[in-house]
Amino acid sequence: MGAVATLSFVLPYLILSPLAGSLGDHFPRTRLLQCYKYSELVAVLLSSIGILTDTIPLMLSALLAFGVQITLISPVKLGLLPDLTSDDHLVTANGLLDGATFMAILAGTALASLLPPIWICVTMLGMALIGIGSSLAIRSPSQGNEPINIHWLSNLRHMIYVTHHAGKLGVALLLSLFWGVASALVTLIPSFMHHLAQHTALPLSEPHAASVLMLSTTLTLGVGALCAGLIPNSRHISTSLFIAMLLASIGFFCNLSWSTDLTCLILGGFAAGLCSSQFYAHLIERTQGETSTISAGNNILNAIAMSIASLLLMLV
């Protein structure tokens, strides 16, 4: 079931990202953002019915709907940042965006475990309505003028060309590696906790220990993203932070100590939040009107990296 859920979320990135990027550069991004936020109500309705009736197919359908909506909105969201702020403030703006996203994931995870089903549905509806209201308040000068292309393969070739021509391919590959490592780490935490419990005493039960590690990582990712604007915007610094994240991930799996593992994840999560916000700022700065296309191309690379990570974990 977990594999089906992951596939429902990743497949839209692989299939719809080329179209999403083309749409984001052709139409006014604020108008697209508002349309996509309205479409979120469909996913909320599906998920609410699935939760209240305990119907797995409906829940998976809702997850697929959310996957489609996020795939379409992601290039538009990133494409709006250069329209609304200068290159000098992109790291700060992207850090605020990423930080808010990670904090929302943390809050949603906590509330889902605390609230009864009916209040989970009410909360989702309330957040969707807040999102719609916020999108209506955004004003962007961008009107969109790039030609639209609905052919998947042609769009894909165009995305690769634009990303390479803009000098963003290296950053896009680093971001895809980042998400591949992150997805593998999140997948492995529960099984690693089971292995750790056989060698040392845990301060919590095994499931709760895994939850604490994942929530701590999400929290420090958010804090790191929010702090990204406080350090110099340099690719050398971003790459150093990325290496620090990799070392922390390696340290997590090389130690059989709860306190050391928790420290590694906290430090690695903080470094990951810093470097991902800087990488995304590098990705979208000075992109000359095709920001959404470059962002969508990066989304495909991210989806491929996460799929490869999942396949490797299944084979190991």
Q: Which of 108, 131, 156 is the last residue of a domain?
A: 156
Q: Residue 161: inside a domain, yes or no? A: no
pLDDT of 2 reads 55
In the predicted model, is pLDDT for residue 4 greater than 70?
A: no
Range name among 18-27, 101-110, 203-212, 291-300 with the lowest pLDDT average: 203-212
| 163 within domain boundaries | no
Of 1-10, 126-135, 174-183, minimum mean pLDDT range: 1-10
Q: pLDDT tier at 152 (50, 70, 90 boundaries)?
A: confident
Least confident of 112-126, 137-151, 245-259, 261-275: 137-151
Q: Which domain holds residue 128?
A: 2-142+149-156
Residue 261: half-sphere exposure toward Cβ, Cα within 13 Å: 24
- Are residues 293 and 177 part of one domain? yes
Where a domain ends, among 156, 182, 208? 156
- The rounded mean pLDDT for the chain is 82
Do 44 and 128 have their domain in common? yes
Q: Of 306, 299, 271, 272, which is closest to residue 284 (Cα–Cα)? A: 299
**Residue 45: pLDDT over 60:** yes
Whether 162 is covered by a domain: the verdict is: no
pLDDT for 18 equals 84
Report the CATH number that the domain containing residue 223 is assigned in CATH. Answer: 1.20.1250.20
Residue 289 has pLDDT above 80, yes or no: no
Rounded distance between C-alpha atoms, residue 269 and residue 52, angstroms:
34
Given this model, what pLDDT does residue 316 score? 65
pTM of the entire structure? 0.81
- Give 288's pLDDT tier (boundaries 50, 70, 90): low
- pLDDT at residue 36, rounded to an integer: 92
Q: In this prediction, what percent of the chain has a pLDDT beyond 90?
A: 11
Q: Which of 103, 124, 156 is the last residue of a domain?
A: 156
Give the pLDDT score at 112: 80
pLDDT at position 29 over 90: no
d(CA 164, CA 301): 13
**Overall number of domains in the chain:** 2
Using only the alpha carbons of the chain, give its radius of gyration: 20
- Per-residue pLDDT tens digits for 204-243: 776 777 778 778 888 888 888 888 877 777 777 878 888 8
- 49-53, 104-108, 155-159: the lowest-pLDDT one: 155-159
Mean pLDDT along residues 14-25: 85
Q: Count CB atoms within 10 A of the CB of residue 257.
A: 12
Give residue 237's pLDDT: 80
